[in-house]
Amino acid sequence: MTAATRVLVIEDDEDLRDTVLRYLRGVGMLAHGVDSAEKLDAELERQDFDAVVCDVNLPGEDGFSVLARLRSRSAMRIVMLTARGMLNDRLHGLGLGADYYLVKPVNLRELEMVLNNLLQRSQETPGQGTREPGVAEAGELAAHAPWRYHYTTWLLLSPTGERVQLSNAEARLLQCLIEQPREVVDRGTLLAAMGRPGLEAYERNLDVTVSRLRRKAEQASGEKLPIVAVRGEGYSFQGDARIEP
């Protein structure tokens, strides 16, 4: 576990949330907290996380619904933290894709160890992507392989098979560019694809998202994502890519 590990805690009990956040920060994690599913979505738009710790009994959309929604589009680790300890509830949560299910009152040291173990298994080495089996090795074969984007899980695979997990905004932006390969996509179209049509306040956010996407892909795969800026117009994906479920 490194200090770069990012954890999002979704808990509507303010005292408990603050206690968990203080502990996780104290052991070197970058922990953020929200009290509802709505705020969760807003936080995921702003930044990426390695793991989510989610309460079941949330106001509005409950934790099971949040779990199912996150798991359908993301490979990040999800730990359920709840007072609902009946076997059927635990089985339901695990069946929806939870990586672990802890019953309150939870031992914070146990939570730390669960997160450590889950994240260590999900990564080969810190900062490196996980290679898909059967994909071309780096070298001559990889030079002819395309980037592959899986829209159901927001997962990008490099030509050498390294996995890059994207955020909602990054995924929408990349798909818009890949759908129009080697063409210049104007800034307005890209902002609309990200769900921010006609909002001048988000102009800078577009550039930040592109920069973050390039950096994330290069850190995970060692390869430069071929997104090129066209001054005064927009961006273009100047490479081979395909979109898959």
pLDDT tens readout for residues 188-236: 899 888 877 665 656 778 888 899 899 989 888 888 899 999 888 999 9
Question: pLDDT at position 26, please?
Answer: 92
In this structure, is residue 174 part of a structural domain?
yes
Name the strand (E) or helix (H) holding 163: strand 163-165
- How confident is the model at residue 96, as a pLDDT? 80
Asked if omega into 105 is within 30° of 0 (cis), the reply is: yes
Residue 142's φ and ψ, nearest 5 degrees, are -65, -30
What single-letter amino acid sits at 127? G
Residue 125 is predicted with a pLDDT of: 36
More confident residue, 126 or 101: 101
pLDDT at 134 exceeding the cut of 50: no
What pLDDT, on a 0 to 100 scale, did the predictor assign at position 128? 41
Say what the pLDDT of residue 121 is.
65
Please state the φ and ψ torsions of residue 234, each to the nearest 5 degrees: 175, -135
Domain count, the chain: 2
Q: Is residue 44 part of a domain?
A: yes
DSSP 201: G
The CATH number that applies at residue 207 is 1.10.10.10
In a domain, 94, yes or no: yes
Tell me if 33 is assigned to some domain.
Answer: yes
For residue 68, what are the domain limits? 6-122
Q: Calculate the alpha carbon distances from 182 to 52, 185, 228 in Å.
A: 36, 9, 9
* Res 201: pLDDT: 59
DSSP state of 202: G
Query: Does residue 129 form part of some domain?
Result: no
* pLDDT value at residue 126: 36
Task: Give a yes or no: residue 56 inside a domain.
Answer: yes
Query: Do 193 and 117 share a structural domain?
Result: no
Mean pLDDT of 22-31: 93
CATH number of the domain that residue 103 is part of: 3.40.50.2300
Q: Are 40 and 34 in contact (CB under 8 A)?
A: yes
pLDDT band at 42 (very low <50, low <70, confident <90, very high): confident
